C-alpha cells in the first residue's frame, strides 16, 4: 500500500496509529474461525481499517437463524456456504483487503502437524465460540501457543458476551501516552543550563522567555536559598512568580504559574514498568535470538546506568514567548534528543556486532529506533497466559473478593454453557436448566473445591437458557468492535492491549475486565 493512500483514504486512522501502524495493518494476515453474527462484525471492523488479508474458516451453511442477527446475510443466502457469502459481502467494504473463505476445515483441527503451516501464516487468529468448534478449541489453543500466534476467543449469547486473549509476549513501544513532554526542569543538561543562565530575573529578559526557562530559573534560586536540602513546593514557586509580574499581562508567567506542579516531578525517576524491563533477564542477557526490541532495551539500560536518567523525548510543547527564544530552546531539546538517540544506536550496534548479527537490522528499522527513544519512559511488555484446562477464573470464587467475583459470573456462565455444548453438541434451552445448573456446580465444587453457589449466577444462567444459544445484533456489534480493536493493537504493536479477559453485560451496558 502506497504512503500516498494514507493521507486520503485512511487519513483519520493514520492520525491514531501513524503511517507505521497503517503499514503494519496492510501487511497483516488474520484468520477468523466460525462465521457467527459477531464474526461478521469483527470482519467489518478489520476490513474497513485496511488489514492486509483475512481468511474466514467455516464449514456451516447459512440458516434461517443467521438472518435474525447478521446484517451481512440475506434471505437469498440460505443454504449457501456461510464463509463464502461473508467473504463476498464484507469484501465490498474495502477492495484493498483480500478476503478468502475456507469451507473444508476438517484437516485444520486434527491431531497431526499437517496444519501447522496454515496456522503459522497468520499474525492473529480469532475464534468465534460456538458448538461446532468447542471440541477443537483446546487443540487450536495448544497449536497457536506453540507457534507464538495470538489467539482471541469471543462469544455472545443473549445479552452477554466475552472476549479472552491468549498471547505470549507482546512488546509495545508506542503506547500513545497523552504527554510525551520531558522538560527536565530539575535536571538540566549543560546546554540547557547555559540557556537558563543567560536568562536573568533582574531585567526584562525573562518576560520574553518560555515558561520552562522561567520555572527552572525560579526553581534553582529557591533551591539555593534552601541550601539544596529539599525540593521547593509549588506554592513557594507560585509566590516567587507573583513577584515577577510587571503589568499583570505577562502570558509566559501565567503559563509558568499554572505549570508550577511540574517541578514536583523527579526527572531521575523511572516508571515501574520501565524499571521491570531494565531488570528483565532478556535485557541483561542478550543472545542470538534476542529481538531488536530487547537489544534496544539493553542499550537503554546502559544509558540509564551511565547518566541515571532516561533519554530525552525531544517533544517540546508550544509556549508563550519571543519566537527567537522559543526556537533556540527547541533546538537545544532537539540536539539533546539526537545525542541520546546516537548513544542508544551505538550501543545497539555494538551488541549486534558482539552477537555476530548484521547492523542492517538496526539501519532498516531507523523509525523504530526514533520511536523507542522518544517513548522510552512509557515502554510496556505484556506477558499473557495460556488457556488452562481448568480456567483460573474459578479461583476467583475461592478468593473472597466479591467485586471480582461479580465480574467473573458472566465468564463462568459461558464456561458452563460451553461444557454443556461439548457434551450435547447443542446450546441449552430452559428444559436443560437443571442440568446446566448441575454442570456449573460440578465445575465449581468437584474441580475447584468451591462450596457455595455464587449469588446472582442463576439469573445469568436463565438469560443463557432464554437465548437458546442465539445472539442479539447490538451485542454482537459491541463485542465485535472491541475484539477488532484488540486485534489492531496486536497487529500494530501500539496502545496497551487488554490483559486478558473482558465480559460485556448488555443488560446494564457495562464491560468488566480481569486477568486470568
**How confident is the model over 495-512, as pLDDT tens digits?**
888 888 899 999 888 888
Q: Is residue 174 part of a domain?
A: no
Q: Which residue has the cell 518576560?
A: 207
Is residue 74 in a domain?
yes
Domain contains 177 = no
Closest CA to 506 of 476, 481, 480: 476
pLDDT of 327 strictly over 60: yes
The answer to whether residue 268 scores a pLDDT higher than 70 is yes
Question: pLDDT tens across 457-486, in order?
Answer: 888 888 888 888 888 889 999 999 999 999
Q: 153-194 pLDDT, tens per residue?
A: 999 999 999 999 999 888 998 888 877 888 998 899 999 999
Residues 463 and 483 reside in one and the same domain: no
Same domain, 285 and 300: yes
Same domain assignment for residues 476 and 433:
no
* Distances in whole angstroms, Cα of residue 48 to Cα of each of 1, 475, 487: 14, 20, 13
With 0-12 / 13-18 / 19 or more C-beta atoms within 10 angstroms meaning exposed / middle / buried, residue 85 is buried
Q: Is the pLDDT of residue 392 over 70?
A: no
Give the pLDDT confidence score for residue 137 in this predicted structure: 84
Per-residue confidence band for 405, with pLDDT thresholds at 50, 70 and 90: low
Q: What range defines the domain where residue 7 resides?
A: 3-168+471-514
Q: Are residues 95 and 205 in the same domain?
A: no
Q: All 3 cell numbers of residue 394?
A: 474459578
- What percentage of the chain exceeds 90 in pLDDT? 37
Number of domains in the chain: 4
Q: What's residue 278's pLDDT?
A: 95
61 & 140 share domain: yes
Separation of alpha carbons 208 and 123, rounded Å? 53
DSSP string, 178-205: S------SSS--HHHHHHHHT--SSSSG
Same domain (yes/no): 194, 161: no
248/324 same-domain check: no
Residues 6+ apart with CB under 8 A from 432: 420, 424, 465
Please state the φ and ψ torsions of residue 110, each to the nearest 5 degrees: -85, 180
Q: Say whether both 277 and 258 belong to one domain.
A: no
Give Dmax over CA atoms of the chain in angstroms.
87
Do 349 and 400 reside in the same domain of the chain?
no
User: What pLDDT does residue 204 have?
Assistant: 76
Backbone angles phi, psi at 312, to 5 degrees: -75, 140
* Cell 445448573 found at: 437
The reported pLDDT for the residue numbered 463 is: 87
DSSP 329: H
Q: Are 286 and 355 in contact (CB under 8 A)?
A: yes
Same domain, yes or no: 10 and 79: yes
Task: Residue 475: give its domain's CATH number.
Answer: 3.40.50.720
Of 478, 432, 416, 493, give the one whose Cα is nearest residue 169: 493
Regarding whether 505 and 449 lie in a shared domain, the answer is: no
| Local confidence band at 389 (pLDDT 50, 70, 90 cut-offs) | very low
9 lies in the same domain as 156: yes
Question: Is there a cis peptide before residue 450, judged by omega within 30 degrees of 0?
Answer: no
Of 408 and 485, the structure prediction assigns the larger pLDDT to 485
Flag whether pLDDT at 332 surpasses 70: yes
Q: What is the mean pLDDT of the chain?
A: 86
175 located within any domain: no
Domain end point (choices 217, 246, 264): 264
**What pLDDT is recorded for position 470?**
86
> What gap in Å lies between CA 94 and CA 96, rounded to an integer?
5
Residue after which a domain boundary falls, among 264, 285, 306: 264
Place of cell 440458516: 63
Task: Express each pLDDT in 337-381 by its tens digit.
Answer: 999 999 999 999 999 999 999 999 888 888 889 999 999 999 999
Confidence of residue 252 (pLDDT cuts 50, 70, 90): confident
pTM of the model: 0.85
Q: Report whether pLDDT(77) > 90.
A: no
291-312: pLDDT as tens digits: 999 999 999 999 999 999 999 9
Burial readout 111-141 (b: 16 or more C-beta within 10 A, e: otherwise):
eeeebeebbeebbbbbbbbbbbbbebbeebb
Q: Mean pLDDT across the stretch 90-103? A: 92
116, part of any domain: yes
Please indicate whether residue 66 or residue 336 has the higher confidence score (pLDDT): 336
- State the pLDDT confidence band at 396, using cuts at 50, 70 and 90: low
Of the candidates 485, 487, 488, 496, which has an alpha carbon nearest to the alpha carbon of residue 273?
Answer: 496
Residue 179 domain flag:
no
Among 100-104, 165-169, 216-220, 330-334, which range has the highest average pLDDT?
330-334
The set of cell numbers assigned to 400 is 473472597
Q: What is the pLDDT of residue 441?
A: 77
pLDDT over 80 (residue 388):
no
Residue 252 lies in a domain: yes
Least confident of 8-12, 133-137, 211-215, 338-342: 8-12
**Domain boundary pick from 383, 409, 436:** 383
State the Rg of the chain over Cα.
28
Provide the b/e sequence for 310-338 (b: ≥16 CB within 10 Å).
bbbbbebeebbbeeebbeebeebbeebbe
What are the C-alpha distances in Å from 300 to residues 337, 345, 504? 14, 10, 40
Distance CA 392, CA 342 (A): 46
Q: Which residues of 381-400 are buried (b: 16+ CB within 10 A; e: fewer)?
A: bbebbebeeebebbebbeee
What pLDDT score was predicted for residue 336?
Answer: 96
Terminal Cα distance for the chain, rounded? 38
Q: pLDDT tens across 272-290, in order?
A: 999 999 999 999 999 999 9
Q: Is the dihedral of CA 343, 347, 348, 350 positive or negative?
A: positive
- Per mean pLDDT, which of 207-216, 261-270, 483-492 is the most reliable? 483-492
Q: Is residue 38 part of a domain?
A: yes
Q: Which helix (H) or strand (E) holds 504?
A: strand 501-505
Cα–Cα distance for residue pair 450/439, rounded to 1 Å: 13
Amino acid at each position: 500500500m502506497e504512503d500516498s493512500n494514507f493521507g486520503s483514504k485512511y487519513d483519520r486512522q493514520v492520525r491514531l496509529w501513524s503511517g507505521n501502524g497503517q503499514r503494519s495493518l496492510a501487511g497483516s494476515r488474520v484468520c477468523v474461525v466460525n462465521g457467527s453474527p459477531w464474526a461478521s462484525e469483527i470482519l467489518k471492523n478489520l476490513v474497513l481499517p485496511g488489514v492486509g488479508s483475512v481468511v474466514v474458516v467455516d464449514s456451516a451453511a447459512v440458516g434461517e437463524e443467521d438472518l435474525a442477527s447478521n446484517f451481512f446475510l440475506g434471505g437469498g443466502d440460505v443454504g449457501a456456504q456461510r464463509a463464502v457469502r461473508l467473504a463476498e459481502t464484507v469484501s465490498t467494504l474495502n477492495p484493498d483487503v483480500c478476503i478468502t473463505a475456507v469451507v473444508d476445515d476438517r484437516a485444520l483441527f486434527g491431531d497431526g502437524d499437517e496444519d501447522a503451516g496454515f496456522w503459522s501464516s497468520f499474525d492473529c487468529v480469532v475464534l468465534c465460540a460456538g458448538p461446532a468448534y468447542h471440541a477443537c478449541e483446546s487443540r487450536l489453543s495448544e497449536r497457536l501457543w506453540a507457534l507464538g500466534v495470538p489467539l482471541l476467543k469471543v462469544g455472545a449469547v443473549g445479552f452477554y458476551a466475552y472476549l479472552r486473549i491468549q498471547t505470549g509476549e507482546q512488546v509495545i513501544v508506542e503506547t500513545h501516552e497523552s504527554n510525551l513532554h520531558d522538560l527536565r526542569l530539575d535536571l538540566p543538561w549543560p546546554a540547557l543550563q547555559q540557556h537558563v543562565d543567560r536568562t536573568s530575573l533582574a531585567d526584562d529578559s525573562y518576560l520574553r522567555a518560555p515558561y520552562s526557562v522561567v520555572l527552572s530559573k525560579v526553581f534553582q534560586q529557591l533551591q539555593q536559598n534552601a541550601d539544596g536540602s529539599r525540593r521547593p513546593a509549588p506554592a513557594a514557586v507560585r509566590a516567587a512568580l507573583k513577584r515577577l509580574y510587571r503589568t499583570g499581562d505577562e502570558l509566559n508567567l501565567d503559563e509558568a504559574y499554572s505549570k508550577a506542579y511540574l517541578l514536583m516531578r523527579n526527572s531521575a525517576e523511572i516508571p515501574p514498568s520501565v524499571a521491570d524491563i531494565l531488570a528483565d533477564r532478556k535485557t541483561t542477557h542478550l543472545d542470538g535470538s534476542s529481538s531488536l526490541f530487547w537489544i534496544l532495551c539493553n542499550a537503554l539500560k546502559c544509558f540509564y546506568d551511565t547518566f541515571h536518567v532516561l533519554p530525552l523525548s525531544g517533544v517540546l510543547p508550544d509556549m508563550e514567548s519571543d519566537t527567537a527564544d522559543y526556537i533556540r530552546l527547541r533546538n537545544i531539546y532537539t540536539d539533546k534528543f539526537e545525542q541520546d538517540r546516537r548513544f542508544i544506536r551505538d550501543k545497539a550496534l555494538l551488541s549486534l556486532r558482539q552477537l555476530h548479527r548484521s547492523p542492517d537490522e538496526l539501519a532498516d528499522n531507523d523509525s523504530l529506533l526514533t520511536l523507542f527513544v522518544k517513548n522510552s519512559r512509557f515502554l510496556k511488555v505484556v506477558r499473557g497466559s495460556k488457556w488452562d484446562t481448568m480456567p483460573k477464573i474459578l479461583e476467583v470464587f475461592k478468593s473472597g473478593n466479591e467485586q471480582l467475583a461479580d465480574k467473573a459470573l458472566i465468564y463462568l456462565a459461558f464456561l458452563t454453557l460451553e461444557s454443556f455444548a461439548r457434551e450435547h453438541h447443542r446450546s441449552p434451552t430452559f428444559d436443560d436448566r437443571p442440568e446446566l445448573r448441575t454442570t456449573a456446580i460440578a465445575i465449581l465444587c468437584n474441580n475447584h473445591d468451591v462450596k457455595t453457589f455464587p449469588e446472582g449466577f442463576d439469573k445469568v444462567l436463565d438469560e443463557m437458557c432464554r437465548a437458546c444459544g442465539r445472539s442479539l445484533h447490538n451485542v454482537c456489534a459491541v463485542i465485535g468492535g472491541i475484539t477488532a480493536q484488540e486485534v489492531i493493537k496486536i497487529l500494530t504493536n501500539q496502545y496497551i492491549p487488554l490483559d486478558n479477559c473482558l465480559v460485556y453485560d448488555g443488560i446494564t451496558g457495562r464491560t468488566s475486565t480481569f486477568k486470568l
